[in-house]
Structure 1
Amino acid sequence: MPYPLRYFILLLTFTLFSIPVFSQSLREVVAKPGDGIYLLLKRHGLNPTSHIKAFQELNQKNLGAGNSLYAGRTYLLPETSATSGTKAAAAVANASPSVLKVPLFGPKYERVEIVNQQLKGAVFYLVAGHSGPDPGAIGKYGPYQLSEDEYAYDVTIRLARRLMERGATVYMIIQDPDDGIRDENVLKMDRDEVGYFGKPVPYVHKLRLRQRVQDINQLAQKHRGAYQRMLSVHIDSRSKGQNIDVFFYHHENSPAGKALAERIHQVFDTKYNRYQPNREYFGSVTPRSSLYVVKYSNPPTVFVELGNIKNDKDQRRFVIPNNRQALANWITDGIITDYKATK
């Protein structure tokens, strides 16, 4: 049985381990604004499961960052003959239906095994704070500098993978084409992140926020009626001596956003009681509707602050790779609880 199509939405790029077949008889089509490979193939009657890899190979010189499409450009479609379709279908049937390949996660983590369907039908928009020309808050770690955007991105992309493992549809709104999930303590700063549709991240602060909100709201139109949530991940900057716990913001008029924030918060409180019984958890859930992405994103939104990038104790929370993974895991646990509560 072919793999469910919902998993081919993520990142416009990922493919099953299949071998597409095509010949010289090719159609030309023009991409519309907002098109990804999945939508383009589906609109023209092609099964994305069978044809996405062939499409990428045919059009590799005409694709943007993350294998995105350029609106208005002409693309070649793979052959749709009966022979081609049969061979492609056979290749998919022989692939493992519980394994995805997601190049954005990097070579070490690109193989994603679907462990269960706890989040089947849920759609998530994940935004790593700042990025591109804006590194966000800067902290000092021995002789090194730590930038907010790199650590927020690594936690966010780990969260994306964790959600996918549980059957969710996930959009990484900010993408770095070559970082993937990283296991170093000190993450190298760069500026090559792009928006979901492959556009450069603007230099002007308000334009940066507007770009990601527009991408989220455009994508959300395709999933009307589904459980949809947006999470924006950040690291705060305060005085070096101030130790803070993970805390959450939501829109004051969004009961769904508040409920999700509270359920994630409860997971953190429970985990602290278990793993640090002598240390009280002081994270909070607070309305803050003035934040641009909270105010203007259509899906219910949770804005997450992971700690103080200048504080030595807080730095251990995200400098150590296993701790970054724990943050992603705990956020996922809260999301699962919230999703179950809405069904």
Structure 2
Amino acid sequence: AFDPPRLSKRADYSGQMGGVSEGEDVLARWSDGLLYLGNVRRVDSIKQCCLVRFEDNSEFWVLRKDIHSCYHPECHTPPIEPEVDPNSWICRQCVFAVATKRGGALKRGRFARLMQIMKVRLPYQLSSLDWDPQHLTNQQQCYCYCAGPGEWNLKMLQCGSCGQWFHEACTQCLTKPLLYGDRFYQFQCSVCTNGPETIQRLPMTWVDLAHLVLYHLSLCCKRKYFDFDHEIMSFANENWESLLLGTLSDTPRQDRCQNLLNALNSHKDRFVSGKEIKKKKCLFGLQVRAPPPLSSDQSPFIAEQPINITHRRRSETGAHQDLLISTLNSVLGTESIQTPLNFSLFVILQPFAKWLFDLKGNGTRKALIMPILQPDAVT
């Protein structure tokens, strides 16, 4: 059996792909886990990426590892058995191209069965990936069963055992499509179960629901403020069954409005009303455009293996906050930042924690840090 290839930031993928040349028609895997037909316009062998023109005439740079045409037999995972009939054999790439769908992969039929068999092994070594402190992104841009790119907040599920992120389009366990930023699931991938995926909906509060709806709308519409009656409530009511709200799903339609409105008005750390910025009071938006946290614990915590997504240890979380605050105060030359951080400020600062720690060692000036503290930069 062949071991999956190790991935690196400067790896040479030409052997795996058989080479890529300008003018060649290829399939490029996008961050949603789906394949799109395109034509290679330019090849950058140093940065290991290609400029691809897609069927809608848009052009994007795509990593060479995400550009596919055909396989060498020795590059396929799982390994090709010697007794397999080459006339009936279907490669992993073609199985995923057919089976992956928006809202969730096929669950029935030949390609669904083939996909399930292939998903118990990854085509790369998970241990070779270099993750950020929050375990949200890796430097190789390698996620899911398909080894494609991805963005954790754009319809992806994180496995509670191995910590890898998986595209909605590549999973076969979903009964309803995901919303952007919806992490209220306890999920285990096929690699960890050595079989079908398992998934369980986590309980949500009215505050979680309001936050999730606003975040989803903000990404879809590229706006910050939304009308409560015509947009927020309208979206919630139209998608009520698809939201899988558990005990909240039994709430009568006439009571949903007041519950959501109370949540929006009573959590100033998350939501901003239009009346606060001299706009209509029926408008609401997020203080910071970030997905809702999974629990009342406002501080993301990266646990040791196995990763536990739903239960966070407060003692270590507090230490993590203290370290971040200490670093900020030291670099900024101030003692004004105190613990505990509120939700909005923590969301702004947390993704930069590792970067700030590195900068502290290099004697970075205050001017390099201050732009991070401007909320407009992330909303």
Higher RCO structure (Cα 8 Å, ≥6 apart): 1
Name the structure with the higher strand share: 1
Name the structure with the higher helix share: 1
TM-score normalized with structure 2 length: 0.29
Larger radius of gyration: 2
